[in-house]
Each structure stands twice: as C-alpha cells, then as structure tokens.
Structure 1
Amino acid sequence: MTGPVWPRTARWRLLLVLVLAAAVTVFTATVPLLRDFFDLRVYYGTVHTWVHHGGRIYDYRVPGTSYGFTYPPFAALTMLPLAPLGRNTAIVLSLLVNLAALAVVLRILAGPGWRRHGWYRWSLVLCLLALFEPLRDTFSFGQVNLVLLALVLGDSWLLSTGRGRWAGAGIGLAAAVKLTPALFIGLLLLAGRRRAAGIATAVAAVATALAAWADPRASRFYWTEALWDTSRVGRLDYVSNQSLQGVLARLGETGRPMWAAVVLLTLCVWAWRARGAVKSGDWTAAFALTGATACLVSPITWVHHLVWLLPSFVVLVRAGRPRLAGALYAVLCTSVVWLWYDGSFGIGGFLGSNTYTWITLGLLLGLPTGQPRAALPLVRRNTVMTPAPSPASPATSAAGQSTPLAGACDAAAATGTAGGLAGRGLARNASSEPTGSTRPAASKPQSSNWRASPYTDPPP
C-alpha cells in the first residue's frame, strides 16, 4: 500500500473507527461467551486461602467446580498482590495488567517506527485485536498469557537491538510462572546465545528455589505429583485443547509413545526452522516459530493460550503476505472449533475440530524467515530508484510506505468481518464450563453444571 488507508479525511476516519468499535462491542457482547474472570477466580481464591486461611496452594477449588491452581508455586508468589484486594479491585487490576502487557507486545512487534502509524491505524488494529478469540478470552478469563508473551518478547527486543547483556531474564521469569515458555531457552541454545540461556536458566532456578523456600510442601507436591497429572488441568480430548495431544486424544489415541514421537518430530522441524531464522538475524520469526511450537507440543493448549501466535501474523504481514495473515487471523476470530463441541466424528469433524491446530502447524512449517529487523524493520519502506542528482537535473524521488498495520487492515477488508462465521450461526446459550465458548451447556467430567460462586465465598 502506497498511500493512506481509506478513508482519507480525519472526519470520515473517526466515523469509521466509531462504527467499527460499535460493531466489535456488539459482537463481543452477543456472540462469544464472557468468562466471568474464571481463571482470575482461581488465582484469587488460591492466594486468599493460602494467605488468610492457612490453606495449601493446590488444595483450593473454585466453589461449585473441580478447578484449582495448576501453575508452579512461583506463580502463586507473583500473585500475592491479590491477597489484600477485594473482588472488583482484583478484576480492575487484571484488566490493567493485561492492557499494559498488550501495549508492550504491540510496541515491540511494531518496531521503531510505531509512532508513524498514527491514531487511525492503531485504532483499526485494536478493533481487529478485540475480535481475536485467544485475546478476548485472555481478558475475559483474567489469564496471564499476555504478560508471559510480553516478558519473552522483551528478550527478543534485547537480542535484535544488540542489547543482549541481560537478555534471558524475561524468559526465565516466564518459565518459572508457566512451563511452556521454557522452550525459548532451547531457542537461545540453538542460537548460540549461551549467556542469555544461562541467565534464563538461572532466573528460573532462583525463582523456583524462592517458591520452595516460601512453601516447601507445595513445591514438593507440584514437582513430584501435580506436574505429571494432566487430568487436573482438563480432559485431553476436550475441543478447547488445540495441541497435538488434543488431536491425538480426539482420535482416541491417548498413549504416551505416539504423542512423544509426534512431539519429537515437531521439535526437530522447529529446531531446523528456528536455527535458519536466527542465522539470518530474524529474531522476530525465530520467536514466532518457538511460540507456535510451544502451543503444539504442550499437552494442553487451551484456545486462549494461542495469543502466542500474534508474532506470527506480524511476520506474515512484514513478509508481504497480508491477505494470508488476514485469512488465518479471521478464522481464529470465529470460534469455529466449537461447532464440534459435542463430538468430532468423521473426516469433517477431524478437520474442523482441530482447525486452530492446523493453523499453528501451518505457521510452523511455512512462516517466512530471513528478514532481519536491521535490514527490514517492521515498518517497511518501498523506495523508487532514482538517478544520481546532477546540476542540470535536481534529485527527485518518490517513496511509499507499507506497514504491517496497513497490511492487516487491507487483509481484513479482503476477507470480510473477522467474526463473520461466528455471527452466522455460532451464537449459543451461555454455559458454566470455564473453558467453553459459544456452545450449549453440557455436563463434562472436568467441570460443574453450577456457575462458580463469588470470590467472597469461603473455600470448601
């Protein structure tokens, strides 16, 4: 794109933004289910039980459900600021923290020319982001994935800008809160960044040791029992699990050898592709590939975990493939996998119920690499070659800009409203299932038919 995104006048742009914001508001209020900050409810209840009632971290259950705390003990330490807060204050804090993390993520992915996009393009991007199912679920659940993504991308920024002296600290903290980001330590080793890998490992180890000192019993239980019991997190074959393990479980294959073989093959592909990206200096693509791989190899990857795919869309747009990025992004806005909530029978069910997994796998296999930020920053410039100036002929030039934000807007216009599929028949009745989406209520082994009690309820 070589000119301003339509429309051209400020008045019409403001009107367009207001119309889009209203449409997004209507969509999010009527089509997807609001999650009632369920995961925040888990964090809040766990910390309050631990601090105020002398309870144990992993014994707490949200009243009326079987869900409790599933992260490493250090995660509970980072959530201690919730202890003195009331319910509504905790919700406000969660929203503010996630908004701040999103701002950091966008700032890093946009690159040094982020100011050039202006209020109009940033407004369009925010409207598009509000439709992205993993992102809206992260906010509605009160999840922590955006914060972890911001920590990891902070290290990506340090490495790509030559400020790598303290790179690895963000990855180490993220890995101590949740195990999945530990794969980024492997990326640092592949890249030969031993110092950064050492810092990440040391930070994760110190954080884990601090948690063991604070609550030895909880640490012993987590690392010897809870870590290996995936049933505490949820059913492997549940449609929200968009990992490779989820695909196998929906096929009826629950054996560990098959899953281990698939994971090993996936990691080999990742190592090959990520190493190539690092060799070319393309840290954004290397981190994007690693985020996609982490989602694939994790035993359970709920839909809201797929915020780790956001860097991949930036890489696609930067590589000149905005329409492909827009099409894939649109699918991830539709909640399409929930069409097969009641069962994934036949070839159609197999393909449809695993749609998000296929997108993640496709990104791992086909994401463009080899565009280092130093040579091709996220704000790309397409310049017209001009002859050298001479006294008789003054220098003339013409230049245009093509940015990921502009490309994303074009892709959205080409593919239609991102939530179109959801608006054409995916709206369902609300349910109490915490990991559910637009689908009817049904009894499941990992949930309760009763809506969770308020935060102020005493633990059972």
Structure 2
Amino acid sequence: MSGLPRPLTDRGRALLVLALVAAVTVFTATVPLLRGFFDLRVYYGAVHTWVHHGGRIYDYHVPGTTYGFTYPPFAAVTMLPLALLGRTSAIVASLLVNLAALAVVLRILSGPDWRRHGWFRWSLCLCLLALFEPLRDTFSFGQVNLVLLALVLGDCWLLATGRGRWAGAGIGLAAAVKLTPALFIGLLLLAGRRRAAGAATAVAAAATALAVWADPRASRFYWTEALWDTGRVGRLDYVSNQSLQGVLARLGETGRPLWATAVLLTLCVWAWRTRGAVQAGDWTAAFALTGAAACLVSPITWVHHLVWLLPSFAVLLRTGHPRIAGALYAVLCTSVVWLWFDDASGIGGFLGSNTYTWITLGLLLGLPTGQSRVVRLPLPRSLSTTATAPSPQSPATTPGTVQSESSSAGRDVAAATTGAAGDACLDLARSPSSEPTGSTCPAASKPQSSNSRASSYTVDPPA
C-alpha cells in the first residue's frame, strides 16, 4: 500500500478521478449488458396505451414479447407524466430521477457529516457505484427500485433522528407502487412504532383507493387476476431471479409448501435480528436487514432489485468490516451468476447460479447490529480499518447514521485500487443474455444480443 502514488494536490486528484471515470465509462460501454431501457419501455407503452388510446394499463405488451405492466395500478398513476413525454425525453427523465434518488440514498447513508468527505472521496464512491451490477441494471432498465429505496430510507432517517412522528409516508408510498416494501410496515410494528405503521398503511390504502378511482377495471383485474399470475412477471427459474423461490425453481422444486416453509423460516430470522437492532437503536441496520429479507422472500427478485442491499454495505463499513464489505461488493459487480445462464445443474450450478442469494442470506444472518459506531464513508472507503475515537469535540454519533473518516489521500487511492481490482473479476464472467431481467424476462432460450436490445427503443405504443 505504501508504494502506491498519493495524489496530494487537487490536480493529481482530479487526474486520478478522470482516469477512473474513463475506465468506468469504457467498462460500462463494453462489458455489462445494455438493457435498452426495457422496463421503461413497458411503463411508457402502458401509460400511453391507457391515456392516449383508451386501453387498460395491463393491455400493453412490448412488441415481440409477452411482457407488460406488472405493478399495482397506483404505480401507473405515478407514471402519468410519461404521457406528456416523447421516448427520448422519457429516457432522460428516468436517468435524472434515478440520479436524484441515488443522491438521496447516499446522503442518508453517509450521515450528517457527509460534506467532510469532499469531492475526491465522493468521486471515488460514484466510480465504484457505477460498477455495482444491481445499480447498473437499475439505470439501464429504467427501473424504479432506487426511488423506492430513497422513499423508505427517508423514513429510516426520520426515525433515527428523533422525528418518528412524521415517519411512515415514504414506506406507504413505496408499498403502493410495489408490494415488496410492505415488509417495512412489519418492521415498524416489530419496533412498536404503531403510529408510523398506521401512517404507512393509511398512505398505501389511500394511494390504492386513488388508483381504483382512476381506473376501476384495471384495479379489479390486478387484484383479482394479475397479482396471482407470476407468469406475467417472468420464469421463476431464470438465473436473474435471486430469491429463495428462484433457488428452489432452479432445483426443480416448484411446490408452494416448500417455498412457504423457507419464507416462514426467513421471516422468523428477520424478526429476531431486526428486533435486536431496533432495541439497540440501530435503525440503519434494522432497515438493511428488512431490505435483505424482502429480497429473499419475494417470489421474484431480479438482480436489479438488489439495490436494496446498499444499506447493508453502509452498515458493514460503519461497524468496522471494510474487507467483508469490499469482497461481497466486488462479487456483486462481476455478473458471476450469468455463467450458469444455460445450465445451473450440479453442485457447481447450485452454488454459482445462486451466488447473489447466498450473499443476501449471509447479510441477513450476519450483519452486525448495535455495535459502536466506526466512522466510514460508504463503498470507496472499503479498505480503511482505522476508526476515529470519539472525543469531546467530536462525540460519537446517534444510532442509525454512518459517519465520515478523516484520513490521508493515499488511503483513498488504495480504496479506489481495490474497487478496480474487483473490476478484473468481470473477465471471468460470461456475457449473459441481454433479455430483460425484471418484469420483462423472456421465454426464449436464445435471446437477442444486448447491442440490438440497446438500440431497439423505437417502437411506438399501439394505436
């Protein structure tokens, strides 16, 4: 480490950041799959069909596929502004909204001293985040999970800073858009925050009622038919499905009793661990555990849904486990599960095709909670192991926040080098299918190339 160059001047730091940005740009343009904003095409087509052509929200399918809108009707209500935009404007809006959501997530996870990290450390952080496969896919699909994470973490911030009487609205809105965040209402109940849980439930119910008023037929169809038809979302055994259900489906076990048993056991572990985190006042860990559990128990958890694991990495760094955080984060940058896209049989297939599930399960079982706060910057500070002891001038923080760390620029370079090392693992990964891995997972065994998918955003909504 001591032999690494140390950019002590602003010019040297700027040159290093520019070099890293160039490397990340080349990487994201050549190595990962380009998803062609597929899920955004679903949202865009569904809204335009509904508003401009008099069809139901769920009538639209992306041309050439069987995949259409799969969220509750309220999600379509929130996406109504898409009806006023052209396709290119919709893509730009999606990128800007996701960037804003990412800024909110990082602001909350970095704690009250986020300004102390400075532009250099934040630049390193963003370069490393650009390598994170769930985040890459979220932007490339035009997905909404990052926005939902920001809404949920907003309630985490309110609870951790003593503003709990205002908490609940963010979770309620997120649960009305997608059902999985409803597990956070369970967290509020476990924590004894009945007022916040009631607020979240009331907001979710009101949003759902608004959607019923806006389109009664679509609401009736969703809650009576579409919700129970997992085939509308995609194949359970598709390698991108990194939930417990996906693991069982790849084993050929599609029976509901076995899956229900696995879900029940997972929820028991979640309740036990989360209750301990709440009793210790560690709201960040409690929300991180709930995000991990939600990914496991959901019937379908595509790779891009794993942005819900970002709070877990913040907790690992805060509690003095940077090497574990760095190793797990590096694996989640590699797209390694796609090596078993064609064949997930055998012990190797069982272990390898479910790698991200094992990481999520490990975080649920082993994430530290209620420990003394170690000052960390999320993600790029993954190699630092030196904690700053609290002093009268710099007291220890309250539970549920992630603090900053003051260190030399050489450690920043070391952290950036480690992030780049994880990049090398991508050479081991086979280029997977570019077919959509969210609500648009294909049934075809030999999908089209990612480049053709990336340039295929040319289809008009049906007349």
Deviations 1:410-458 (A, max 9, x none): 5563475222221345346xx551229xxxx99339x789959645524
Higher deviation after alignment, 31-40 or 409-418: 409-418
Match of 2:33 in 1: 33
Residues 1:183 and 2:186 are matched in the alignment: no
Shift of 1:284: 0.3
The alignment covers a number of residue pairs equal to 435
Q: Give, in whole Å, the separation in 1 of the partners of 2:30 and 2:10.
A: 30
Match of 2:460 among 446, 457, 460: 457
2:382 aligned partner: none
CA shift, 1:148, in A, is 0.1
1:241 counterpart SS class = coil
Cα pair 1:335 1:422 within 8 Å, conserved? yes
Q: Which residue of 1 aligns with 2:436?
A: 434
**In structure 1, how many angstroms separate the alpha carbons of the residues matched to 2:412 and 2:361?**
21
- Matched with 1:382 is 388
Do the aligned residues in 2 keep the contact of 1:109 with 1:378 (CA within 8 Å)? no
Letter in structure 1 aligned against 2:117: H
> Counterparts of 1:159-308 in structure 2 under 5 Å?
159-308=159-308
Which of 416, 422, 425 is equivalent to 1:418?
422
Q: Summarize the Cα distance change of 1:193–1:211 in structure 2 as closer, same or farther, 3 Å threshold.
A: same
Deviation track 1:189-228 (CA, whole Å, cap 9, x = no partner) reads 0000000000000000000011011111111111111111
Superposed CA deviations along residues 144-202 of structure 1, whole A, max 9, x for unmatched, are: 00000000000000000011121000000000000000000000000000000000000
Distance 1:84 1:284, change over 3 A: same
CA distance in 2: counterparts of 1:163 and 1:31, whole angstroms: 44
- Give the Cα–Cα distance (whole angstroms) in 1 for the partners of residues 315 and 246 of structure 2: 27
Deviation string 1:19-52 (CA, Å, 9 cap, x unpaired) is: 1111101110111111110000000000000000
Which whole-Å CA distance do the structure 2 matches of 1:448 and 1:316 have between them? 39
Are the counterparts in 2 of residues 169 and 200 from structure 1 also a CA contact under 8 Å? Answer: yes
Check conservation: 2:74, 2:208, Cα contact below 8 A.
yes
Match of 1:20 in 2: 20
Q: Which amino acid aligns with 1:459?
A: P
Q: Distance in 1 between matches of 2:347 and 2:160?
A: 43
Match of 1:75 in 2: 75
Which AA in structure 2 matches 1:38? Answer: F
Unaligned runs of 5+ in 1: 387-399
Instruction: Write the letter of the residue equivalent to 2:462.
Output: P
Give distance in 2, aligned partners of 1:140 and 1:406.
33
- For 2:445, the equivalent position in structure 1 comes to 444
- Taking structure 1 as reference, are residues 270 and 402 closer, same or farther at Cα in structure 2, changes over 3 Å only? farther
Does the CA contact (< 8 Å) of 1:42 and 1:62 recur in 2? Answer: yes
Q: CA deviation at 1:296?
A: 0.3
Shift of 1:14: 1.2
Q: Is the 8 A contact 2:172 2:182 kept in 1?
A: yes
Distance 2:414 2:320 in 1: 12
**Structure 1 CA distance, aligned partners of 2:413 and 2:279?**
31
Equivalent position amino acid for 2:204 in 1: A
Q: CA deviation at 1:8?
A: 2.3
Taking a change above 3 Å as real, the CA distance of residues 453 and 413 of structure 1, as seen in their structure-2 partners, is closer
Relative contact order, higher structure (CA 8 A, sep 6+): 2
Q: SS of the residue aligned with 2:436?
A: coil
Q: Would you say the 8 A contact 1:125–1:409 is kept in 2?
A: no
Tell whether the 8 Å contact from 2:334 to 2:429 is kept in structure 1 after alignment.
no
Distance (whole Å) between structure 2 residues aligned to residue 409 and residue 293 of structure 1: 34
Please say which of residues 187-196 and 57-66 is displaced more in the overlay: 57-66
Q: Is the 8 A contact 2:320 2:387 kept in 1?
A: no
SS in 1 for 2:435: coil
Instruction: Give, in whole Å, the separation in 1 of the partners of 2:443 and 2:228.
Output: 27
Q: Do residues 149 (structure 1) and 149 (structure 2) align?
A: yes
Shift of 1:381: 6.0
8 Å CA contact 2:320, 2:374 repeated in 1: no
Question: Aligned in 2, Cα 1:453/1:422: closer, same or farther, shift over 3 Å?
Answer: closer
> C-alpha separation between the residues in 2 aligned to 1:51 and 1:401?
51
Are the counterparts in 2 of residues 292 and 309 from structure 1 also a CA contact under 8 Å?
yes
Is residue 152–residue 174 contact of structure 1 (8 Å, CA) maintained in 2? yes
Aligned counterparts of 2:171 and 2:443: Cα–Cα separation in 1: 38
**Distance of 1:294 and 1:89 partners within structure 2:** 32
Amino acid at match of 2:444: S
Letter in 2 for 1:383: A
Q: Which has the larger radius of gyration?
A: 1
